[in-house]
Amino acid sequence: MNTEIKIAKDCIDECASRILRGELVVFPTETVYGLGADAYNECAVNKIFVAKGRPQDNPLIVHISDIDEVKDIAVDIPDSFYTLAEKFMPGPLTVILKKSDKIPYCVTAGGETVGVRMPDNVYARELIRKSHPLAAPSANRSKHISPTTAAHVYEDLKGEVPVIMDGGDCRVGIESTVLDLTADVPTILRPGAVTADMLLDIVGKVSVNGKVIKVAKAPGMKYTHYAPVVETVCATSIDSAVAEYDKAASQNKRPVIVARDIYRDKVGERNQISLGITAQDYTHNIYNALHIAEKEYGYIIIEELHGAGLEASVMNRVEKAAGGKRV
Ligand code: TXA
Ligand code: MG
């Protein structure tokens, strides 16, 4: 199959008809790019698992263009969903609800719950409005780094999908927060840019993704994820990053330090990929930095961020990229 990258705003009608014909389309969102299929079409949804090499036991998020559409996707919707939606939708929040009969079990990996999200990207929402709600995971090969540009998607999925809608780079840069509203206490299954503190304001009580029993409910979380193809470690301080770099360089491992600009002086002449200045910059840039690093270097050393909120969310991805390895 030939894969074409097209400017998002120019191909919405074409992509909407492709979706309704049961084809896959890659679309931009504010978090990462999504690999979409008609959420009501079982055969189309199955193509996602084949294209990504994704295990069938990992459920997909359903993307909607309007809050009212949630009634087609889910049943027994609690009031807290609507309160959350008012504040965070469209935006980087996925809410787990009880699934409706309209959603095939291949979307939910056989489960009775479904993830619902309204992306904050006009082209994505226009595409959904003109077709159907889209079941979509991140548009990368299973276990590889999530894509934040159309070029990242092309490298991973060329030949697997007819069209990639190019909407520029993704504003947030890491995947949405996943919040389970079917649990006794609303539970964060995956941290993201909508943080526990922000959610607490609305739902009063949140169980944070620290306890193993909660983590296991997002089946995708048990796989090594977001991983570059070369060895990657997380450095707890810039001094340990520099020491690790020098050791790796002496072993000809072709290392690179992925860190914020404040450490330019400490890193000196060593190879560095910049993550910008703020925690927002760090989050926005991290996946692109890893895409570049794995192509150009042999060993990736990532600066750890300390702190709660967005810092903790992005560290969740860095730890996965490093497979838990710290220096
Ligand atoms: O930002 C995002 O969420 C992106 C964009 C494309 O929307 N999507 C994304 O999808 O990251 P994916 O499939 O790569 O990750 C979805 C995560 C997985 O860990 C999956 O196990 C979990 O959400 N998930 C989906 N549906 C679930 C459900 N019904 N119950 C528990 N976890 C669920
Ligand atoms: Mg993913």
Which ligand has its closest atom nearest to the C-alpha of 49? 1
Q: pLDDT (tens digit, 9 = 90+) per residue, 250-266?
A: 999 999 999 999 999 99
Q: For the chain, how far is it from start to end, CA to CA, in angstroms?
A: 43
Say what the pLDDT of residue 224 is. Answer: 54
pLDDT surpassing 70 at residue 215: no
DSSP 8-state class, residue 56: T
Is residue 302 a contact partner of residue 321, using CB atoms and an 8 Å limit?
Answer: yes
> Which two tokens mark 216?
């296991």
Nearest residue CA, atom 18 of ligand 1?
220
Q: How far is the CA of 271 from the centre of ligand 1 (A)?
A: 34
Say what the pLDDT of residue 42 is. Answer: 98
120 close to ligand 1 (CB < 6 Angstrom): no
The amino acid present at 208, given as its one-letter code, is V
Is residue 131 a contact partner of residue 64, using CB atoms and an 8 Å limit?
Answer: no
Q: Name the band, by pLDDT with cuts 50, 70 and 90, for residue 208.
A: confident
Q: Name the band, by pLDDT with cuts 50, 70 and 90, for residue 126.
A: very high
pLDDT surpassing 70 at residue 125: yes
> From CA 130, how far away is CA 125, in angstroms rounded?
9
55 close to ligand 1 (CB < 6 Angstrom): no
From the list 172, 206, 185, 131, the residue with the least C-alpha distance to 284 is: 172
Q: Name the band, by pLDDT with cuts 50, 70 and 90, for residue 202.
A: confident
Q: pLDDT (tens digit, 9 = 90+) per residue, 273-284?
A: 999 999 999 999
CA 49 to chain centre: 16
Contacts of 167 (CB under 8 A, 6+ apart): 8, 27, 28, 121, 123, 124, 150
Say what the pLDDT of residue 225 is. Answer: 63
> Which two tokens mark 194?
């909508």
Per the model's pLDDT, the better-predicted residue between 158 and 216 turns out to be 158
Q: What is the crossing angle of helices 310-321 and 279-296, to 10°? A: 10
Say what the pLDDT of residue 2 is. Answer: 96
Q: What ligand 1 atom has the least distance to the C-alpha of 58?
A: 21
From the list 169, 175, 129, the residue with the least C-alpha distance to 148 is: 169
Say what the pLDDT of residue 106 is. Answer: 97
Say what the pLDDT of residue 314 is. Answer: 96
Q: How far is the CA of 39 from the centre of ligand 2 (A)?
A: 17
The angle formed by the CA atoms of residues 186, 189 and 195, to the nearest 5 degrees, is 75
Q: How far is the CA of 86 from the centre of ligand 2 (A)?
A: 26
Using CA atoms, how far residue 27 sits from 6, 174, 237, in Å, is 10, 15, 37
> From CA 175, how far away is CA 30, in angstroms rounded?
9
Say what the pLDDT of residue 210 is. Answer: 56
> Which two tokens mark 312?
């903790």
Q: What ligand 1 atom has the least distance to the C-alpha of 108?
A: 29
> From CA 179, how far away is CA 176, in angstroms rounded?
9
Say what the pLDDT of residue 216 is. Answer: 33
The amino acid present at 240, given as its one-letter code, is S
Q: What's the mean pLDDT in 165-183?
A: 96
pLDDT surpassing 50 at residue 223: no
Per the model's pLDDT, the better-predicted residue between 195 and 48 turns out to be 48
111 close to ligand 1 (CB < 6 Angstrom): yes
Say what the pLDDT of residue 123 is. Answer: 98
Is residue 196 a contact partner of residue 186, using CB atoms and an 8 Å limit?
Answer: no
Token look-up 């049961």 returns 22
Q: What ligand 1 atom has the least distance to the C-alpha of 99?
A: 29
Number of other residues whose CB lies within 10 A of the CB of residue 121:
24
Question: In residues, how long is the chain?
Answer: 327
Pocket test for ligand 1, best of 30, 94, 107 (most atoms within 8 A of CB): 94
Using CA atoms, how far residue 121 sits from 98, 124, 151, 228, 276, in Å, is 25, 5, 18, 27, 24
> From CA 188, how far away is CA 214, in angstroms rounded?
8
Contacts of 156 (CB under 8 A, 6+ apart): 139, 140, 141, 144, 147
pLDDT surpassing 80 at residue 220: no
pLDDT surpassing 90 at residue 222: no
Q: pLDDT (tens digit, 9 = 90+) per residue, 153-171?
A: 999 999 999 999 999 999 9
Is residue 140 a contact partner of residue 38, using CB atoms and an 8 Å limit?
Answer: no
Is residue 254 a contact partner of residue 297, using CB atoms and an 8 Å limit?
Answer: yes
Instruction: Pick the range with the lowest mean pLDDT from 40-44, 81-85, 199-203, 296-300.
Output: 199-203
> Which two tokens mark 204?
């009063």
Q: pLDDT (tens digit, 9 = 90+) per residue, 96-123?
A: 999 999 999 999 999 999 999 999 999 9
> From CA 33, how far away is CA 28, in angstroms rounded?
5
Which ligand has its closest atom nearest to the C-alpha of 32? 1
Q: What ligand 1 atom has the least distance to the C-alpha of 63?
A: 7
**Mean pLDDT for the chain?**
93
Using CA atoms, how far residue 4 sits from 14, 152, 162, 208, 292, in Å, is 12, 13, 6, 41, 22
